[in-house]
Amino acid sequence: MHKEKDDEAQLIADNSSEKIGFWNKQKRGANFMNSKSLPENYKAAKQYNIEFIRLAPDKWAKDHDFLFNDKPDVQPERDFLIGSANDYKGIDEEDFAELKADLDAAYERGSKVVLTVLSLPGNRWRQFNHYENDDRIWKDTKYHEQSAAFWRDLAQRLKNHPAVIGYNLINEPHPETASGFKDFWTEDYREWYNKVENTAADLNALYKTIVNSVRTVDKETPIILNSGLYATPWAFEYLKPINDDKVLYAFHMYEPYEMTSQNKRKGFTYKYPGTVVVGERKTEKLFNKNALEEFLEPVLKWSKQNNIPANRIIVEEFGINRLVEGSDRYMADLISIFNKHGWHWAFYAFREDTWEGMDYQLGNKAPKWEYWEALENGEKQNREEIEVKNPIWDVLEKELRRE
């Protein structure tokens, strides 16, 4: 009996010491942003040498189907894990059991997981909130405290889980939207931050509150912080490093969004490389590899100024609609930049089940009819029937398998 307890204690100690060590060497990952838990995808991810999964379980909400019906005034009756974004009272036990089972499946299949959330108290995910921003967290610090309590409670339960190698506290925070920020491309981020510092709209203050709370119960699991304005590289301008050697900093890269987000409804006006009209002022800008490097310069500048090593920077999400002309070259150029700087990266997304635009194994054409048939029938897709050899997946697979 004593030996079993000693073995368990040793396993916990080993897991704790390994968690930050996992990030010492560049890692290549992918996002799981599916509408339900799909543990079989961990096995497939391992086969492709995907080294970590960024998981957002919020989308598993039992009543998520309202997203796809004709009732825009319907909200979920509850928010996954946090119970209610209106007032956090404790972790929902049914939801936690589902999350725990998924993480156990990840561990059994050899996958490592960064856990993120799309909603916090006072900050319900836009797509679960009539497609409107929920900015309460940026107007009342009581939601800072509730968010800190939630993450403390979750960390208490998951701190020894062998699959979990990071807590990403909130996906794509955007306090700017609640406080007068107007144009992504021209606004002065520092000037804006000076107006909101030490208020509820202060992202740094929120992070400090949550990190301090998590560390009361879990001193080992790495914590990952997104930059502001939907995790744009430009918002590193006002991000303050945390005095904690197990914190990493992250951004997302879908720029120029006017190009990467094109679809059949919007049309395909732009290709890569090429000129794109961006911003409120409708400015024309040539986007090629040099322009992408220039766009990412704020991250490099910030990390040098603050002595943050490359292995503490994560490109958590990047991608482009696979039907955009030149999408394979866009992904290849971005990854070459990430590799040059030694940043960790995770593409969006692996085997997405609600949006085929970034399911890169489907190629650069419309999906096969088997895809739509399975979707309409509510069946699991047979990946062998719908996946095709294609340039954009070739780029990703080559990089995932690179020594």
User: pLDDT for 353-368, tens place per residue?
Assistant: 888 999 999 999 888 8
Q: Which of 77-81, 109-113, 173-177, 348-352 is predicted least confidently? A: 77-81
User: What is the Cα gyration radius of the chain?
Assistant: 21
Query: What is the rounded distance in angstroms from the CA atom of residue 136 to the CA atom of residue 46?
Result: 39
User: Residue 370, class by beta-carbon neighbours within 10 Å (0-12 exposed, 13-18 middle, 19+ buried)?
Assistant: middle
Q: What is the pTM of this model?
A: 0.93
Contact status, residue 147 vs residue 121, Cβ threshold 8 Å: yes
Nearest to 224 by CA among 120, 115, 309: 115
**pLDDT digits 0-9 by tens, 220-238:** 999 999 999 999 999 999 9
Fold of 12-400: TIM Barrel (3.20.20)
Is pLDDT above 60 for 269? yes
User: Residue 331, class by beta-carbon neighbours within 10 Å (0-12 exposed, 13-18 middle, 19+ buried)?
Assistant: buried
Torsion angle in degrees (nearest 10) through CA of 84, 88, 91, 92: -30
Q: Which residue has the higher pLDDT, 389 or 130?
A: 389
Where do the domains of the chain lie?
A: 12-400
Query: What is the rounded distance in angstroms from the CA atom of residue 262 to the CA atom of residue 321?
Result: 7
Query: What is the rounded distance in angstroms from the CA atom of residue 231 to the CA atom of residue 238?
Result: 12
Alpha-carbon distance values, 69 to 65, 92, 372 (Å): 7, 26, 17
**pLDDT digits 0-9 by tens, 2-47:** 444 444 444 444 455 689 999 999 999 999 999 899 999 999 999 9
Contact status, residue 158 vs residue 164, Cβ threshold 8 Å: yes
Query: What is the rounded distance in angstroms from the CA atom of residue 144 to the CA atom of residue 213?
Result: 11
Q: Which residue has the higher pLDDT, 127 or 250?
A: 250
Helix (H) or strand (E) holding 226: strand 223-226
Q: In the structure, what pLDDT confidence band is assigned to residue 213 with cuts at 50, 70 and 90?
A: very high
**pLDDT digits 0-9 by tens, 54-80:** 999 999 986 544 444 444 455 555 799
Contact status, residue 29 vs residue 48, Cβ threshold 8 Å: no
Dihedral pair phi/psi, residue 229, rounded to 5°: 45, 60
**pLDDT digits 0-9 by tens, 114-172:** 999 999 999 999 988 888 999 999 999 999 999 999 999 999 999 999 999 999 999 99
Contact status, residue 136 vs residue 123, Cβ threshold 8 Å: yes
Q: Which residue has the higher pLDDT, 381 or 251?
A: 251
Give residue 279's pLDDT.
86
Helix (H) or strand (E) holding 249: strand 247-253
User: Residue 289, class by beta-carbon neighbours within 10 Å (0-12 exposed, 13-18 middle, 19+ buried)?
Assistant: middle
Question: How far does Cα 72 stand from its chain's mean position?
Answer: 25
Dihedral pair phi/psi, residue 210, rounded to 5°: -70, -45
Query: What is the rounded distance in angstroms from the CA atom of residue 291 to the CA atom of residue 63?
Result: 42
Give residue 206's pLDDT.
98
Is pLDDT above 60 for 249? yes
Is pLDDT above 70 for 372? yes
Is pLDDT above 80 for 401? yes
Considering the chain, what is the average pLDDT of its residues?
91
